[in-house]
Chain A
Amino acid sequence: MGNSSSRRPASARRDILAAGHVVPELSRCVQCGICTFNCPIGIDVRRHAWLGKHVVDSHCLTCGECVKRCPRGVLRFERLKLFKEGDE
């Protein structure tokens, strides 16, 4: 992966696609289900949020629909730590 100091948005997005996942913030969630409804491949994002689990699902496209549509800012992307610092 590229040097983080010169990383451009496109490569940042590539990183998310490669190593990011969606993380819910339990205290903001009211289980409305907009996330699940808008997931193009039918992942039950809401259930992850209810259980306080990160959306670590091999089918997740990290397309960002759930993050974007959530009316309460519950969801965010976080990088998965697949490699140790310095491995990149």
Chain B
Amino acid sequence: MTRHVIVGTGVAGMSAAATLRTLDRAAEIILVSEDPHGFYSRPGLAYYLTGELPEKQLYIYNKKDWQDLNLRHVRARAANLLPGEHRLDLGPAGALTYDRLLLATGSTAVQLNIPGADLQGVVKLDDFEDTRGIIRLARRAKAAVVVGGGVIAVELAEGLTALGLEVHYFLRGDRYWPNVLDEKESRLIERRLAGHGVVLHHRTEAAEMLGKRGKVTGVRTTKGETIRCGIVAVGIGVRPRVELAQAAGLATERGILVDEYLQTSAADVFAAGDVTEVHDPLTGSSSIDTLWHPARRQGEAAARNMAGQRQPFRRLAAVNVLRLAGVMTTIIGSVGSGTDDDLVSVARGSSETWRQLPNTIAMESGAEINHLRLMIGETALVGALVMGDQKLSLPLQEMVATRMDITPIRDRLLQPEAPLGQIVMDFWSTIK
């Protein structure tokens, strides 16, 4: 009987386990993780914070699902991997041998490196316990400071506002998420945040957390200003959890390097999800996605290869749907470039491809909330950003993913004030 060991119970690990079970009814499948909560919706934590969901709703699998799939969960820290011996040490919990191993260790939030960052009340929105902790702290705190960028920082600002706190959001630069959103889009989100009561502080950086008896009481900014608060919420990015792989001598850069079969440099060891840096033979480059759906697809692809089917993993155009200050936003393919001072590493819920914009022309149309931006290449769309009405999301997703030839409509799209949405919709209806 083949023994598959999976390190991590996030979406990559669990989708691998479910796929393995469909491919091999008899195999032994063991999942190892320290997380007492097992498999839950990590992106859903933001909605738990706003009070839209009770916490028990976040669990995706119940006991019966685990039993039906015949999965074993070992709650332990994977301490040491010995790929030569096909063995995973679990410290006091013993050790497991394996035939195939999947590393789905995910990513972890980066801490702010300033004095006072270890005070109680300095929080992140990374896992179940973090979120519980924020809700607990919010019962007593009156004000909070949010530091960072991307989706998580805005989710923190929105969640803390929903919990009744006065929220101050620090942005290092002139606008929100400058390497993915254009100026108009950034301003729209900022206005919406302000409308929800969030106080935005541009060109503002935290210099030091102030505290009393081990608890945070405020933040001193680099301008010398002090803001009193009981919570400082940090969302400055995540880092792949590569330590186990690194110590085992596996090839790593920012993430665990894998080939197109999601195999690492060690025999019978695979990787999937946020921790993985996937090599793309078409472009010769490698990149990291910290997105739910690609993690799930990687888990499934890794499982097929673990089960002996040699099937390459093909990346799709990176898509994510975000709710930014209440505005539903879909980001498809490449839409931005450059860097964002508010993030020190890759942000959760994002893709590096969003910021790798080749030569394109950006065209925009739409009113305030229903907004559309297309990144128009020579013959195809390379990216799109859809805010508000989502009718066009699916067609655009497919057009970007398949590099659909847009020659018949390209000139019209490039006309000043072109009704982009209508042109795309008309084009789509002639094809489908």
Q: Which segment, of B24-32, B40-48, B107-115, faces chain A?
A: B40-48
With beta carbons under 8 angstroms apart, the residue of A33, A37, A71 that contacts B323 is A71
B52–A34 touching, CB < 8 Å:
yes
List residues of B (305-345) whose CB comes within 8 Å of A's CBs: 316, 319, 321, 323, 328, 330
Query: Is B1 close to A, CB under 8 A?
Result: no
The one of A31, A46, A69, A73 that contacts B321, using a Cβ cutoff of 8 Å: A73
Tell me if A26 and B293 are in contact (CB < 8 A): yes
The answer to whether A37 and B293 touch across the interface, beta carbons within 8 angstroms, is no
Determine if B431 is an interface residue (Cβ-Cβ < 8 Å): no
When chains A and B are docked, how far (Å) is the Cα of A34 from the Cα of B323? 14
**At the interface, yes or no: A25 with Cβ under 8 Å from chain B?**
yes
Asked if A79 is at the interface (CB within 8 A of a chain B CB), the reply is no
Q: How many A-B residue pairs have CB under 8 A?
A: 63
Tell me the complex Cα distance, A33–B41, Å: 8
* Bound CA span A27–B394, Å: 10
A27 neighbours in B (Cβ, 8 Å): 293, 316, 319, 397
With a cutoff of 8 Å between Cβ atoms, the chain A residues found around residue B53 in the complex are 32-34, 37
Instruction: State whether A32 touches B319 (Cβ < 8 A).
Output: no
Let me know if B74 is at the binding interface, CB within 8 A. no
Contact (Cβ within 8 A) B47 A73: no
Q: Do B394 and A33 have beta carbons less than 8 Å apart?
A: no
B58 CB-CB contact with A under 8 Å = yes
Contact of A32 among B44, B316, B328 (CB under 8 A): B44
Give CA–CA (A32, B330) in the complex, Å. 17
Distance (whole angstroms) from the CB of B362 to the closest CB of chain A:
23
CB-CB nearest in chain A for B291: A30
With a CB–CB cut-off of 8 A, which chain A residues contact B330? Answer: 28, 73
CA separation between A30 and B348, bound complex, in Å?
13
Kindly list chain A residues whose C-beta atoms are within 8 Å of the C-beta of B47: 32, 34, 71
Give chain A residues whose Cβ lies under 8 Å from the Cβ of B60.
31, 33, 46, 50
CB-CB contacts below 8 Å: B33-84 with A: 41-44, 47, 52-54, 57-58, 60
Smallest CB separation, B175 vs chain A (Å): 24
A23-65 interface bits toward B, Cβ cutoff 8 Å, 1 = contact, 0 = none = 0011111111110110000000010001000000000000000
A33-B53, A34-B53, A50-B60 known; A72-B44 Cβ under 8 A: no
Question: Mostly helix, strand, loop or mixed at chain B's interface?
Answer: mixed
Name the B residues within 8 Å of A32 (CB-CB). 41, 43-44, 47, 53, 57-58
Interface size class of A (residues with CB under 8 A): 10 to 19
Cα A27 to Cα B292 in complex, Å, equals: 9
Count chain B CB atoms within 10 A of each CB in A25, A28, A69 and give the residue with the most: A28
**B54 and A30: CB pair below 8 A?**
no
Q: Is B246 an interface residue (CB 8 A)?
A: no
- Is the Cβ of A31 less than 8 Å from the Cβ of B41? yes
Specify which of A25, A30, A74 is in contact with B41 (CB 8 Å cutoff): A30
Residues of A within 8 A of B293 (CB): 26-30
Interfacial chain B residues near A37, Cβ < 8 Å:
53-54, 57
Q: How far is the CA of A30 from the CA of B323 in the complex (A)?
A: 12
Q: Are A30 and B43 in contact (CB under 8 A)?
A: yes
> Distance in Å from the Cβ of B10 to the closest Cβ of chain A?
11
B351 interfacial by beta-carbon distance below 8 Å: no
Query: Is there contact, CB below 8 Å, between B44 and A30?
Result: yes
* Cα of A25 to Cα of B60 in the assembled complex, Å: 17
| Given A26-B293, A27-B319, A36-B57: A72 and B328 interface contact (C-beta under 8 Å) | yes
Q: Does B263 contact A (CB under 8 A)?
A: no
Residues of chain A within 8 A of B58, CB atoms compared: 32-33
B317: nearest residue on chain A (CB-CB)?
Answer: A27
- What chain B residues lie within 8 Å of A46 (beta carbons)? 60
In the complex, A73→B394 CA distance in Å?
11
The reply on B390 being an interface residue by CB < 8 A is yes
Please list the 9 inter-chain residue pairs (A to B) with the smallest Cβ-Cβ separation, ordered nearest first.
A32-B44, A30-B43, A72-B321, A33-B57, A73-B390, A31-B41, A30-B292, A32-B41, A28-B321
For this complex, 16 residue pairs linking A to B, each with C-beta atoms less than 8 Å apart, are A27-B397, A28-B319, A28-B393, A30-B42, A32-B57, A33-B41, A33-B44, A33-B53, A33-B60, A34-B47, A37-B53, A50-B60, A71-B52, A72-B328, A73-B390, A74-B321
Q: A30-B42, A32-B53 are in contact. List 5 more A-B contacts (CB 8 A).
A: A29-B292, A32-B47, A32-B57, A33-B60, A71-B47
